[in-house]
Amino acid sequence: MSAVPYLYKAPTRKPKSEQALVSVIIPFLNEMDVLAACHERVCRALDELGQHCEIIYIDDGSTDLSWRLVKTFRHTIHQVQCLRLSRNFGKEAATSAGLKASTAQCAILLDADLQDPPECIKDMVQAWREGAQVVEMQRKARHGENFLKRFSAHLFYKLMSKMSDQPITENVGDFRLLDQKVVAVINGLPERTRFMKGLLAWPGFKRTILQFDRDPRLAGTTKWNYPKLIHLALEGITSFSTKPLRWATMAGIFTSLSAFIMALVILTKTLIWGDPVTGYPSTMLMILFLGGIQLLSIGVLGEYVGRLFIESKQRPLYVLMEESLNRPTFAHQEL
Ligand code: UDP
Ligand code: MG
């Protein structure tokens, strides 16, 4: 039993010969329409590897029959582990729970809705066998997504790569393979605001990028909406960069300088030509402009103070409610 009962106890590593080859980590929320198809396609893809693997499902607080369904999944040579969180903690927390539970030589993060085709697993494992420690899967095309989503995603990646000190590859989502060394590093990162794209990029290691066609969702609806995406973007920016604070300072310096220059111009005009000081409109403009900059800077500051507040509470990332382990029905030695 772990000291903190609600947290998943990181499993101890087995010798390589007994260790599963791949952990496929699948977080889901209300996906009962796709889970059976997902399990079948993942198993088929893993069968092609010819070695025993593990599949880890994480129920992120589903309210439909997903949990009951997923608990029945089993396989002849692969182990199926299911974790159930006590409520919806968000995909990032669910993925973190999966990474903590992973015991294999490498881990693959996959969406349950089959937008990330499990058939790519073979190529990902091949790239890993050739020496890559992180295999990033880059989307060639974003089928089933409208122009606005594609455009905002592009804007987000551009903004992130300008802001973050860590390069974040464009159009690479969570679908990727991580060597167990990288998984260990990510499991050791203590922060509570888990911006996965940034966290997964942070450890570095040897990277390869493979391209794939992202399919439309098999069934059900996306769990994302624009307010959630804006929240994610803000979280990403403020948890991985302090550049907005720098920009707020720059804006302050710039406005002070322009006010000083303007004061000089007005003074000269009044002294030389005796112009009366003009302008209600210009005064209003300056007040609004400065007010805007000040509010923006306070808002930026507030974002960082808020992050500090959340981090300082040291609450767990997720709470585990239930676990189920379906061992392979066929002994490994007989493989
Ligand atoms: N998901 C989750 N918790 C959440 C939201 C989503 O575990 O709070 C899962 C969801 O079930 C799916 C994956 O994360 O397996 C990706 O979500 P979705 O397909 O809704 O996102 P999109 O592909 O539209 O970006
Ligand atoms: Mg999806």
Per-residue pLDDT at 334? 46
Per-residue pLDDT at 7? 56
**Is a pLDDT exceeding 90 seen at residue 135?**
yes
Pocket test for ligand 1, best of 223, 229, 317, 318 (most atoms within 8 A of CB): 223
- Pocket flag, ligand 1, residue 112 (CB < 6 Å): yes
- Residue type present at position 3: A
Per-residue pLDDT at 14? 62
Which 8-state DSSP code applies to residue 48?
T
Cα 102 to middle of ligand 1, angstroms: 20
Which 8-state DSSP code applies to residue 160?
H
Q: Is the pTM of this model over 0.95?
A: no
- Pocket flag, ligand 1, residue 116 (CB < 6 Å): no
In contact, 176 and 205? CB cutoff 8 Å: no
Compute CA distances 158 → 91, 153, 163, 164, 169, whole Å: 23, 9, 9, 10, 10
- Which residue's C-alpha comes closest to atom 13 of ligand 1? 111
Query: Which is higher by pLDDT, 9 or 216?
Result: 216
Q: In ligand 1, which atom is closest to the CA atom of 28?
A: 11
In contact, 108 and 121? CB cutoff 8 Å: yes
- Which residue's C-alpha comes closest to atom 7 of ligand 1? 28
Q: Which residue has the tokens 């974003």?
A: 142
Q: How many helices (H) and strands (E) does the chain have?
A: 10, 8
d(CA 146, CA 63): 28
Cα 28 to middle of ligand 1, angstroms: 6
Per-residue pLDDT at 226? 77
- Pocket flag, ligand 1, residue 59 (CB < 6 Å): no
d(CA 225, CA 331): 45
d(CA 77, CA 43): 10
Q: What is the DSSP string of 67-96?
A: HHHHTT---SSSEEEEEEESS---HHHHHH
Q: Calculate the average pLDDT of the chain.
A: 82
Q: Cα dihedral sign for 334, 131, 117, 149?
A: positive
**Is a pLDDT exceeding 50 seen at residue 6?**
yes
Strand partners, 323: 83
d(CA 71, CA 20): 20
Q: Is 15 left (phi over 0), alpha (psi -120 to 50) or beta?
A: beta
- Pocket flag, ligand 1, residue 27 (CB < 6 Å): yes
Quote the longest CA-to-CA distance of the chain. 100
- Pocket flag, ligand 1, residue 90 (CB < 6 Å): yes
In contact, 219 and 211? CB cutoff 8 Å: no
* Res. 10 pLDDT band, cuts 50 70 90: low
Cα 223 to middle of ligand 1, angstroms: 5
Per-residue pLDDT at 127? 93
- Pocket flag, ligand 1, residue 179 (CB < 6 Å): no
How do strand 79-85 and strand 54-59 relate by DSSP bridges?
Answer: parallel
Q: Taking residues 205-233, what's their average pLDDT?
A: 79
3-state secondary structure of 203: coil
In contact, 203 and 186? CB cutoff 8 Å: yes
* E strands in 148-205: 172-179
In contact, 141 and 209? CB cutoff 8 Å: no
- Which ipTM score applies to this complex? 0.93
CA atoms within 13 A on the CB side of 31: 25
Per-residue pLDDT at 93? 92
- Pocket flag, ligand 1, residue 33 (CB < 6 Å): no
**Is a pLDDT exceeding 50 seen at residue 44?**
yes
3-state secondary structure of 140: strand
> What does the block give as tokens for 132?
């890559």
d(CA 31, CA 27): 10
Cα 52 to middle of ligand 1, angstroms: 27
Cα 265 to middle of ligand 2, angstroms: 58
Q: Taking residues 92-121, what's their average pLDDT?
A: 91
Per-residue pLDDT reduced to its tens digit, 230-281: 787 788 778 777 788 888 888 888 887 887 788 888 788 878 877 666 676 6
Pocket test for ligand 1, best of 24, 25, 29 (most atoms within 8 A of CB): 29
